[in-house]
Structure 1
């Protein structure tokens, strides 16, 4: 039992490590928001944005033009409302979003996309502009299947951690893509997702008319083919519907449903209810089995098809990535073949179990199975928390604050630091479009304790609202991606290691100031 608990802890540690790897403390804007131009089957354009967990895009900060400059009218999916004390209720996209562009530009037309977003930690990026060309990254393989990192070779952005449905991770032929889907399926089969299928498979292999290892293997193969055919149809549907399926998969309610499914599955693992096919289904399948030639073959195939629906929500996160990618490719053959390979990968361990027949499945029953159920339950709860993580939100209040002296360039900042004459200096990077900057000013800098602590500082402010070349140079000089950020110089004019990135409340900022004032 101790070993099983250690196993559960290890799996959860891997899960949280993966989540941390997916969302570093702060990404560059081209890593946090990756754009790709998608050409649909009817020749119209759409732009898909991969938004990393912990980041979001503003709906009203998008603009699209074709080259030469011709404005294009975007059609957005429904976003999320974010309450902001300065800007009111603003609509944001905290997950991947596909923006459809009305009209059909001439073939080969490049699209210029302008957008702006922020990180949940409080840092807002300056407006970004990328030039997107059709046909680039169309030969990639299974991109971002599990949120893996990728360097895009086109589409105007590069680098960063890819999320569900981003294009361009693996490059290769259709055979390579299909092989990667098969490997991914084997990986999914080694998770708790396969557990609901074991009781079904045991009833097939150990049931009447299935005596003999050869017969058990045959029935297992039929079962897996039913599973695979269902996935094939889903893959074809993804290729035919294109970005419409991508938009549907990224809706918050879909992510919430997946998380609730994992909670329900964990409850079943802990013994809250019995996980099995409904009795009415079992009766109907038994009735069909007695009437069909060949005994169990027909109902077993149907069981396999139904099992795809049972296991589908469990594999939803990587499946969402796969379907979004296939929707962007628009290749029906690739879509069907890739999902067929994924299902075969999921079914491979089931075939092994079927080949072993009655020699294996009894060992998975009794106390061993109960212990495994507990392990799977813990892991599923962890997965529910991980999946729902992008839906978490924070609300921060705001107030007014004290004045700062403006600086507009690196040279001007250096001159004013040199002129500080033995006093420490604080440099505040600010922008009007930065919600967290307004929050920091009204919530933190307005606190009387903070204002008293800042009396001894020369206060400088770099306002990067206009995002000019000088603004970009200031940010780059200090290795910053956007506001808010506060830097500190000591009385000797030396830049200190301590800095504030994102929002801090008054108590936390006072602790930072105390540390800064105690640093020589």
Structure 2
């Protein structure tokens, strides 16, 4: 906590500088620390600072740097400073009054006439108002003295910044010259770009070498550091090859692995094409000053020039390539992570990562596992709505449907859903777009709900849905179809059901899509999705076949059965509209359907004398439905929004119940919104939960209704910053935010601590309250 507090106090002090300068008569930084420079003799630059009274400069914050081609700066020669025990930074060296320094340099071209460099300093005002200035940079241009630069510059150290240029492809030896390292003898924290220097080069046409260099007294977390590609034509990064590191007991994170001084991370590349190209490497990392402050998560983008690769080199690289667990890149669909703990390479993986990895191992076992996962998914709200649809299809296929025909209809329906799930998953994996989400537009949902209403009216006997007679005759010659059971119509209904009725994302589905995304192998990934879909559809086939076997044959019973399915279709239409309409409208429509069903069952009619037991049973059921329908209407009028708790609003207003309230989320829309909120939470030492939600997402509403309302869950999240990303619109901003986490749709719950995602704790799909509380407790 002391580390975080120190960093926060420093940040607040620097942020308040401008206001203090105008209100308290502080000198502008150029006057407080007046710099003069001259190149009096070849090979040396003299620097002199006049320091105003009551001001001082930090010795360790005086830096020099150049971007001039052919100019090499040596180590800045500074005198010893005065020791000072800083209130927050401990022992440091400072300068009062004035200070002189000498900067050696050398020139590659003796004909060079001018020198260009930047000088960076930082200092403070030591009497009231006590304030520290932010780092200040001055650009200096000097004429080269007669005789040129004859003195060779010494290697850069504490006072210079002459390391490897970002992204330059140079011999590996050049990586060692890290910019701005040193000055760690005092406890003044270095700027992030100097405390943790990240570099990357192409070690070969099919490999990268990345490196972090830290000065003495700084260390880098392994499980909070990652490398990925943010751009590259057909290039993928392989699994990371981290060196062992140093076990470290951290006061915030417990036992972790860290690196001191320097760490190199080799990364294999798989390339589709051998032509030379420039790729962009994106790094995210975090570290601390030993017994000092901890830095927030830092990012760095480096351009690396890949040389041309021969066909033999490409094939050899692919043969030995081990894909990394995928993680979305910040800008494009090129993705591969090279991280440890937060992404699972330290031994822990999120559910979808582990499943995706299993796909790459024993393929036959993986396919059998995915069929089993599909069976489990069959008993989720994603699949339940398909049961009345399939039942209605079978009920409408004729009065004497055989078991064989019921099986064929069920199989065609399920196979159609399998095709959609497979194609949608392949598209999501290769293009990063959720095809099912694209079908959740309001006009599509209204159209499909209208179709269910038309089907319901057909079941009630208002009319018969059938193809034109000429087309029916042609189709009958092909497959002996009947008007209600056309195999083409059944297949179309299966396609639409998969796209519109059940757009759920569960860990097995996400794993298969993740596998396609990271390996670009749509064949086996698609096969896994198809097998998963078959598992989801197997119970439907069993149910549909049994329905064909046990449904009553011709007669009045058949009309009653069709009426039941008509009501179910109306319920499906209302359920689909619940994704886009306010709860009060859903309650009103539900109440109307319940009351209509009650009237059909004779709830308002008087039983005749000698009525049978069945007649009394139907009337009792009708009265119950009438009361439920009335409760829905009364609840809607009283401001209720929950169909399952129609009188909840009345009870809550009467009893002022506090349990089961709603969590207070902050809405975010863009990646910038997320980064801002996560950074602010990290500065305040708070954890973050990000919930991806959509109106059309069934499991999202399950989480809201059954998990987030539980007191234990709300208590466990009391110290969290709660963010909600509503991706209902599925627009560019929504897709970019999903892509940031390699997600293809909601539901998903992401956890952050200290500005970094805790990837192994990522939740895809629904989770019960008890399990969710246990998951939250691991976020550290």
Q: TM-score range by the shorter chain?
A: 0.3 to 0.5
Give TM-score, length-normalised by structure 1.
Answer: 0.40
Higher relative contact order (CA 8 A, sep 6+): 1
Q: Which has the larger radius of gyration?
A: 2
More strand by share: 2
More helix by share: 1
Give TM-score, length-normalised by structure 2.
Answer: 0.29
